[in-house]
Chain A
């Protein structure tokens, strides 16, 4: 008799406790607001609206041209899609007038840029504001004014675009920068090459040398006022330093019986690292530009070349074929054996450290194809961004987000051209140049 009764009690108690737990569960669970995980977002160009900047006096075509360059810069990144003016509901008639956000929301413009241009004599003033339409605010720090000479209108356009780009994306811009490259002409087996500089988008080309001698691999100094390159003017490859303002040239380290090539500045601009070939062996050396002191950084029977400093100047990434095929190594800036970081199939060359320090870009050849790729500085996360008959010689944009490189087509009539690609592998595009071009090197952002 006792046993069944006890079982009934037992059951009732368990049921009561269970019921209590069930009733209290929702109360306890709702002690904080419901948490909802937003699923996968989308990656698509952000719709922006940039009505033609207002002419506030004497601007004429400048207002329209500046607007065009700003749109071209932003759309060229692949991050943005400009909504044409024909779709605009509101018209911006006054720079300081109000903005009807609802009108811009209606056409799905996520960012609105308004601007005004005025010209007085040869002075031009450009001012702009960028709005976050759906948040109903001005983008913080994106309301500025630039002033300068009318000749500099294009640079001002790039600066406007740089500010907008950096405020929206959270990373630095790169539009107000230049690229030095080798302009080519003539048949493939008798190419004539000369140095040229242009805006990052291919505009404003200017030539720095004539085509009497071969020039290769130009590199900007960290301040953009000097260029290092390899010249065959003496019949042998020699590193030459050019002052961009005066075009004065100076050959570095003229040692008889040697060849010097693949130069690059240190981050402080005071040192040059390069390859020196002597007696059939190539090693990496550094040269102090102030004292002229030469230091040997590698000492191996193999070919060590293509050195590139890390942004903090403490390390150098370079290419070596000491294991039989070209691979990428990192060594201290003071020199040493180096540690291999490339580990995939194929041959690796022309490593370049990102200005942000997070990636190393390289050329890779594998299974008859050439690639431009990036990897982390420890060799992990290797990503190939391009593939073609011949892609080589990457150079970083000042913000470390975009790479420019040389692509050459196959065949006797094959020509070199300049291309750029985002480090995600998106937005591959050709840079317009007057003729064949190769060996691009990006400058830092202009002051």
Chain B
């Protein structure tokens, strides 16, 4: 911090000195230099007739000897062997006049929408207006009696918000997942018998996005970075049998646990990164790691026209600890809220599935990051 402060002072001093010097000696220093000496060459004017004569090489003007122009090296002439004279082709019999070919069908260019009459096409569109056909004579088929439709009011499913939204959350038990329990996320769009042929038929069933890489099989949890208070850590490595001491340790542990973990950096000056800047490659790694988990497959069409910028605070272990929506742009507040939720999920998921590639040694730089999630590019067209 001190060094940085000195750097600022030096920078400021240099700037001030520069300005003072500029004021004092600027005029002298930056006075326009005297123009270089001009080499004067005398020329003479000629008339257009004289110029034409020059061009034709008739009468060189005596006033000025034109410098001889060095002729460009001419390529050597290649003497090609003279082709043997071909026998004079016999005159072909004059072809009989062919019948005038019929004009080939030219695709008719559809005119822009206008009130101009358009050519009738062969097939009529099946619209309600064309569906009116004379009723076919029905066979004597005894139709079943109409069935009473299900009455709609049989249930009174009035949602009762009687269910508490926050049940107790179980204590988190880290469990090493096995391969058998981890379904492979192929990123495939649901295939049904109905849409199997659609790609060939319409080419529209598949997502317009490149297929996502399969998610990593469950996490190999990085040592879940629970920022442990130093006091607790130190006490843990010195077990003591004495029960009284143990009580004291427990008390200390309790106190330490109650201590607030370092608050996520709030807005304002504290958000300014203090470390060396992230390189383009590092930022690219972070971007692509999160992008792989940024799933918009269950997003509304409004979300696909929305952008949010979220400010994420990380602890030293790289765990996202705080999110703030700092900027947004979208058609509806619901879409913004939805994209904010999806973005947070993407960041949390990236952390859970192997971690966000935050470069070690630059915690002061990435302890707060602004992440831009712009779904506009994802719009399906």
Contacts and interface: CB of A to CB of B under 8 A. Distances in A.
Contact of B127 (A134, A144, A349): A349
A156 B157 contact: yes
A1 interface: no
A135 interface: yes
Given A46-B297, A89-B181, A217 B131 contact: yes
Q: Is chain A's interface secondary structure helix, strand, loop, or mixed overall?
A: mixed
B237 interface: no
Contact of B29 (A6, A224, A277, A381): A6
Nearest to B114: A323
B294 A47 contact: no
Nearest to A33: B368
Interface in B143-171: 143-152, 154-171
Contacts of A17: 14-15, 18
Interface string B14-44: 1101100110010011100000000000000
Contact of B380 (A322, A364, A425): A425
Given A41-B346, A426-B205, A129 B165 contact: yes
Nearest to A144: B159
A202 to B, nearest CB: 12
Contact of B295 (A43, A98, A210): A43
Contacts of A252: none
A19 interface: yes
A127 B341 CA distance: 24
Contact of B163 (A145, A225, A390): A145
Contacts of A103: 173, 175
B117 interface: yes
A255 interface: no
B11 to A, nearest CB: 5
B202 interface: yes
Interface in B191-241: 192-195, 198, 201-202, 204-210, 212, 215, 218-219
Interface in A203-219: 204, 206-214, 216-217
B283 A34 contact: yes
B56 interface: no
Interface in B129-147: 129, 131-132, 135-139, 141, 143-147
A325 B118 contact: yes
Contacts of B7: 23, 27
A152 interface: yes
A413 to B, nearest CB: 17
B298 A79 contact: yes
Contact of B155 (A128, A152, A348): A152
A428 B287 contact: no
A224 B158 contact: no
B322 interface: no
Contact of A41 (B10, B181, B296): B296
Contacts of A211: 138, 141, 143
A171 B301 CA distance: 9
Given A32-B272, A38-B373, A87-B182, A98 B187 contact: no
A446 interface: yes
A282 B129 contact: yes
A140 to B, nearest CB: 7
Nearest to A128: B163
B294 A144 contact: no
Interface stretch (A57-65, A285-293, A337-345): A337-345
Interface residues of A, number: 164
A96 B369 contact: no
B349 A110 contact: yes
A404 to B, nearest CB: 13
Given A6-B29, A100-B173, A46 B298 contact: yes
B138 A212 contact: yes
A205 to B, nearest CB: 8
A447 B152 contact: yes
B337 A170 contact: yes
B195 A232 contact: no
A104 to B, nearest CB: 10
Contact of B125 (A23, A138, A189, A363): A363
Given A425-B380, A429-B195, A146 B160 contact: yes
B17 A386 contact: no
A379 to B, nearest CB: 8
A189 B151 CA distance: 35
Given A140-B165, A143-B164, A244 B149 contact: yes
B123 A365 contact: yes
Contacts of A326: 125, 127
Given A365-B125, A387-B201, A134 B345 contact: yes
Contacts of B192: 429
A294 interface: no
B219 A106 contact: yes
Contacts of A78: 189-190
B291 A101 contact: no
A349 B126 contact: yes
B125 A108 contact: no
A16 B152 CA distance: 83
A347 B181 contact: no
B176 to A, nearest CB: 8
Given A45-B297, A128-B163, A24 B128 contact: no
Given A190-B138, A349-B127, A38 B371 contact: yes
Contacts of B113: 327, 340, 342-343, 379
Contacts of B352: 105, 134
A305 B131 CA distance: 12
Given A24-B11, A107-B182, A192-B141, A98 B167 contact: yes
Interface string A254-265: 000001011000
A379 B278 CA distance: 46
A191 B136 contact: yes
A279 to B, nearest CB: 15
Given A146-B158, A427-B195, A386 B219 contact: no
Contacts of A392: 125-127
A324 B118 CA distance: 5
Interface string A162-190: 01000011110000000000000010011
Interface in A74-121: 75, 78-81, 83-84, 87-89, 95-103, 105-108, 110
Given A110-B295, A147-B157, A13 B29 contact: yes
Contacts of A169: 298-300, 338
14 contacts: A27-B8, A36-B371, A79-B298, A89-B181, A101-B172, A105-B218, A105-B349, A106-B181, A135-B341, A145-B160, A169-B300, A190-B139, A363-B127, A426-B189
